Structure 1
Amino acid sequence: MEELPIGRRVAYWRGRRKMSQQVFADRLGKSKSWVDKVERGVRRLDKFSVIHEIADVLQLDAQLLLGKDPERRPESVTCIDQVEVEEIRAALERYDSISTFFRPTNSLPPLAEMHKATNHAWLTFQHAKYGVLARALPRLLRDAQAADAHYTGDDDDAQQAASLLGQLYQIASSTLRKLGEHDLAWLAADRSIAVSHRAGDRLLTGVATCRVGNALLALGRSRAALEVNVNIANRLAPADSRSSTPEQLSVYGLLLLQGAMAAARLGDSATVRDLVNGADDAARGLGENRNHYWTCFGPTNVQLHRAAAAVELGEGRAAVETHRVIMEDPGFSALLPERRAHHLLDIARGYAQFGELEKATEMLLEGDRLAPAEIRCRPVAHAVMSDVLRRTRGTPSAPVAELAEQMGVGV
């Protein structure tokens, strides 16, 4: 394999993964023609960011595409480094609307292509592939910013461009917040609100509000997070379940759940109960788990937030009891990896609160099997692992010690 050109290696591994050129192109957010030219050697692959994207879609080490032996460093594959953070920061600091006034943009990807790339980015986030997102977001943001600056007025193209940019700001905010870059997460979320207004989509603005609330909560501003979520939830509240749409119920319910998490951080159990019960009513109106506006909202997600709020309130035993109910719900196994691994991390925190350290590590190990980046890359997971190791008598088991090493947490 090492003597083959990189395009031929891409074709080889695509065939091994039983993907057509069209499916492979869709997952990359590229055109089938682009893939064909790469595989025939007509188009060069000279950007490491693109090579890493291809490797992630093909589920192999990038070194194999380069004809080298793979490096056994799982944390470098799944996590984000400071260089990538700075590239995202640079993309967030661009002001294309000003520069385009002086010099119009000459070339832009088609909006349909950008729409596919944005959907792929959402799925990448919901599969907890944060390293892939870190490498892809700067280019996606630059393209979307240029499109938003290029398409002006109130026509469909302008609103679609604004919607795509608003969504990418949301993806950036959620990814950065998970990885501990809270100031940048707030900036991206705030940008999303402003752009979503131009898209003329109240529900997109509502979801952007959730990202702002999450960023405020991460920055320690729990009261502000509670107020912003509840304020917009009240504005989007359906008059009755018969006249509301599934999309409206999903966004409204998500706002209530995020408000509940902020109330839990404040220690306000009564408000937590009221908001979670309101979200439960919305989920019952929805009837099943959905992913409208990428909310993953539904009855199961309400239960996940009920457990998470209990952990924030310091009620680990109550969280574990809710977890046992969730494990009997077939809807849980149908959730995407990020949601499930996030929940297992919450339950690991819950077990640790009342000294069930072995159970806490079981949750971390199970979460790592589902979505490694959710466990290995998140500061909150590092804090749980450090706490468990500090309180564990004797030597931790081999799997726990190995995971701690991969997380960069000293045993």
Structure 2
Amino acid sequence: MDELPIGRRVAYWRSRRKLSQQVFADRLGKSKSWVDKVERGVRRLDKFSVLHDIADILQIDVSLLLGRDPERRTDALNGIDQVEVEEIRAALEQYDKMTAYFAPAAHSPPLPDLEKAVRHAWLTYQYGRYAMLTRALPKLLRDTQAADAGFTGDQGRVAANLLSQVYQIASSVLRKIGECDLAWLAADRATVVAQRADDQLLAGIATTRVGIALVAMGRPRPALELNVNIANLLAPGYRDTTPQGLSVYGQLLLQGAMAAARLPDPSAVDDLLDGAEDAANQLGGDHNHYWTSFGPTNIELHRAAAYVELGEGGRAVEIHQRLPEPAFNALLPERRAHHLLDLARAYAQIGDVGNAGEMLLRGDRLSPSEIRCRPIAHQVLADVLRRTRGAPPCHLAELAEQMGVGV
């Protein structure tokens, strides 16, 4: 986008922020005609103060408007720098596999090195370190894309497996930070590449990423159908009864349940959760096969999350209160912090804003990025502050200030 005129950049970011020209003009204190002329290049933007005002409204670094590399913020815990998202977008826009069809592929790192890097990326995600992950993802995407384009045979299948995993990691973190369209694109790529890897379970778990992205985009019906259809094809006794197979099958049912909760369809939610629970009982204990964190404890976390989506916060709180503390504490930070965010929503639903705020603080201590980088957490915190009588607790007020959340 560096070669675009500045007016086109303004139009691009205004569209990304889903602001009409009129709303944007009102916030800027200008007329709609003025905005239209700027975006068409009829009127020049030559005042730095106006550029800063535009950048503030669009929530981007002013350098992006000028076509330069933005300066990275030092307060990385408060969220993800927009430059990182744009670099991930640029990496997703590469088509090395197609290029290799016409010309020799570019050199790629050795596969063992890539395997280590992908494993590290998964752990970075599951420990909730999203800012660190988004800085690493652009290069990891380019490297695994090059490997997928450059290797053939058995090595080609390994490279495709790694690329599918990286697409899944990218989809997961992009969805967390509200970049749902990109999350869907990355997840869709993951399913296609998994087929080249000749790994049905990898394709199955990639399907859950597609479903999660669809739900985030407000498309729960196709997400439900997709997850259930693939789960039926991987059902125990039909294809795979290994621990890995049970984990992927169960995870498909869990994500189907979350999609059903958004419809809402309480009966389907219960049926799918019960099916996932059967798989977890066969598996025995909590495991991380195919990076699913699947097991009895994760079933309960999803059950609570589904009740929150159904508006039954009280039932979600009851589930949390009966969770075995050792099993919950044994889960990786992303899972626990995600649950605490769901629990904050549950407490807010039943009017207990004190405990809602406490859950946000606990989640922030456990995994700051899970709270500070997620739009839903900002919404919950704003709701808690609005409904708190008198001054909010000092730690909650400090978190709100750091996140830039007001009443």
The alignment's TM-score, normalised by the length of structure 2, stands at 0.80
1:389 corresponds to 2:388? no
1:203 corresponds to 2:183? no
Instruction: Classify 1:74/1:386 alpha carbon distance in 2 versus 1 (closer, same or farther; 3 Å).
Output: farther
Is the 1:344–1:367 contact (alpha carbons within 8 Å) kept by the matching residues of 2?
Answer: yes
Given candidates 283, 294, 297, the residue that maps to 2:294 is: 297
1:262 corresponds to 2:259? yes
2:234 maps to: 236
Partners of 2:346 and 2:101 lie apart in 1 by: 53
Equivalent AA in structure 2 for residue 142 of structure 1? R
Partners of 1:101 and 1:190 lie apart in 2 by: 21
Paired residue secondary structure (2:294):
coil
Is the 1:108–1:147 contact (alpha carbons within 8 Å) kept by the matching residues of 2?
Answer: yes
Deviations 1:298-326 (A, max 9, x none): 00000000000000000000000000011
- Listed as ranges, the matches of 1:22-33 within 5 Å are none
Partners of 2:315 and 2:207 lie apart in 1 by: 29
Partners of 2:352 and 2:339 lie apart in 1 by: 17
1:226 maps to: 224
2:85 maps to: 85
Paired residue secondary structure (1:107):
coil
2:315 maps to: 318
1:194 maps to: 192
Superposed CA RMSD in Å reads: 1.4
Partners of 1:258 and 1:198 lie apart in 2 by: 24
Deviations 1:62-94 (A, max 9, x none): xxxxxxxxxxx7742452121111100000010
2:5 maps to: none
Given candidates 370, 373, 381, the residue that maps to 1:374 is: 370
Equivalent AA in structure 1 for residue 388 of structure 2? T
2:285 maps to: 288
Deviations 1:146-168 (A, max 9, x none): 1101113xx22010000000000
Partners of 1:361 and 1:81 lie apart in 2 by: 26
Partners of 1:361 and 1:98 lie apart in 2 by: 50
Deviations 1:24-54 (A, max 9, x none): xxxxxxxxxxxxxxxxxxxxxxxxxxxxxxx
Partners of 2:348 and 2:395 lie apart in 1 by: 18
Is the 1:80–1:131 contact (alpha carbons within 8 Å) kept by the matching residues of 2?
Answer: yes
Instruction: Classify 1:74/1:387 alpha carbon distance in 2 versus 1 (closer, same or farther; 3 Å).
Output: farther
Partners of 2:332 and 2:285 lie apart in 1 by: 15
Is the 2:257–2:273 contact (alpha carbons within 8 Å) kept by the matching residues of 1?
Answer: yes
Is the 1:203–1:248 contact (alpha carbons within 8 Å) kept by the matching residues of 2?
Answer: yes
Shift of 1:101: 3.0
Equivalent AA in structure 2 for residue 108 of structure 1? S
1:94 corresponds to 2:94? yes
Partners of 2:212 and 2:85 lie apart in 1 by: 19
Paired residue secondary structure (2:322):
helix
Is the 1:233–1:256 contact (alpha carbons within 8 Å) kept by the matching residues of 2?
Answer: yes
Is the 1:78–1:130 contact (alpha carbons within 8 Å) kept by the matching residues of 2?
Answer: no
Paired residue secondary structure (1:105):
coil
Partners of 2:232 and 2:105 lie apart in 1 by: 40
Is the 1:300–1:329 contact (alpha carbons within 8 Å) kept by the matching residues of 2?
Answer: no
Given candidates 350, 355, 360, the residue that maps to 1:359 is: 355
Is the 2:190–2:206 contact (alpha carbons within 8 Å) kept by the matching residues of 1?
Answer: yes
Shift of 1:98: 2.1
1:34 maps to: none
1:245 maps to: 242
1:343 maps to: 339
Is the 2:204–2:230 contact (alpha carbons within 8 Å) kept by the matching residues of 1?
Answer: yes
Partners of 1:254 and 1:369 lie apart in 2 by: 27
The size of the alignment, in residue pairs, is: 335
Instruction: Classify 1:119/1:251 alpha carbon distance in 2 versus 1 (closer, same or farther; 3 Å).
Output: same
Partners of 1:108 and 1:196 lie apart in 2 by: 19
The alignment's TM-score, normalised by the length of structure 1, stands at 0.80
Partners of 2:378 and 2:106 lie apart in 1 by: 46
Partners of 2:307 and 2:247 lie apart in 1 by: 22
Is the 1:162–1:198 contact (alpha carbons within 8 Å) kept by the matching residues of 2?
Answer: yes
Paired residue secondary structure (2:268):
helix
Shift of 1:240: 7.8
Partners of 1:387 and 1:78 lie apart in 2 by: 19
Equivalent AA in structure 1 for residue 300 of structure 2? Q
